[in-house]
């Protein structure tokens, strides 16, 4: 499969414990985006620290070569799950429907445990940011059932490609 408009996508794994060897979720996202015909801009593992994460994603959304940021991890309810706190202030627009639809789809897979998922998405500086849980299965659900279509300029009746800064 190849998209009509290949996008430059940065993958960010939010974790205090993952390494390149153990980052299954980040690797799942890289595999999916490349199989779809998009380009990997960068893959980074960052500690689940509000300011480190905010600084990294701020740099990505300021980079004219990045169209999309996919994060994995830091969306649960522990004291170290800081992705929402770090990134939501950066958004120009919140995409409420992403979290709602993700939890609806996830319910069919993991039941009521999906209420502990604080996935979210938004637009900032012409860049879309999708924030997914840290499990490979959740990344697969998010990519296959929502994100892949929304990053495909041929998907009708609408997608997010025309809202992104493109070079």
Q: Residues of the chain with pLDDT > 70: what percent?
A: 99
**CATH code that applies to domain 8-163:** 3.40.980.10
Calculate mean pLDDT across residues 68-75: 94
Query: What does the pLDDT read at residue 53?
Result: 97
Reported confidence tier of residue 114, pLDDT bands at 50, 70, 90? confident
**Terminal-to-terminal C-alpha distance of the chain:** 23
Q: How far apart are CA 121 and CA 111, in angstroms?
A: 22
Looking at the chain, the whole-number percentage of residues with pLDDT higher than 90 is: 88
51-59 long-range Cβ contacts below 8 angstroms, 24+ apart:
51/86, 53/12, 53/14, 53/82, 53/83, 53/86, 53/87, 54/86, 54/87, 54/89, 54/90, 56/12, 57/12, 57/86, 57/87, 57/90, 57/129, 58/90
Residue 131 is predicted with a pLDDT of: 98
Q: What is the pTM of this model?
A: 0.96
pLDDT(1) > 80: no
Q: How confident is the model at residue 64 (pLDDT cuts 50, 70, 90)?
A: very high
For residue 167, pLDDT over 80 is answered with no
Which tokens in the block code for residue 74?
């830091």
**Residue 137 pLDDT grade (very low, low, confident, very high; cuts 50, 70, 90):** very high
For residues 89 and 34, give the distance between their C-alpha atoms in angstroms, rounded to a whole number. 29
6: left (phi > 0), else alpha (psi -120 to 50), else beta? Answer: beta
Q: Could you tell me which residue, 45 or 76, shows the higher pLDDT? A: 45
Q: Averaged over 7-28, what is the pLDDT?
A: 96
């Amino acid at each position: 499969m190849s998209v009509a408009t290949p996008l430059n996508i940065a993958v960010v794994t939010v974790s205090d414990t993952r390494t390149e060897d153990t980052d299954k979720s980040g690797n799942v996202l890289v595999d999916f985006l490349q199989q779809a015909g998009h380009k990997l801009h960068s893959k980074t593992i960052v500690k689940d620290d509000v300011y480190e994460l905010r600084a990294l994603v701020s740099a990505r959304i300021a980079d004219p070569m990045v169209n999309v940021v996919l994060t994995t991890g830091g969306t649960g309810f522990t004291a170290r799950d800081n992705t929402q706190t770090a990134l939501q202030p950066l958004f120009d627009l919140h995409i409420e429907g992403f979290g709602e639809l993700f939890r609806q789809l996830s319910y069919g897979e993991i039941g009521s445990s999906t209420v502990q998922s604080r996935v979210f998405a938004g637009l900032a500086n012409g860049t879309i940011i999708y924030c997914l849980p840290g499990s490979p299965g959740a990344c697969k659900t998010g990519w296959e059932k929502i994100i892949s279509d929304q990053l495909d300029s041929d998907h009708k009746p609408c997608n997010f490609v025309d809202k992104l800064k493109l070079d």
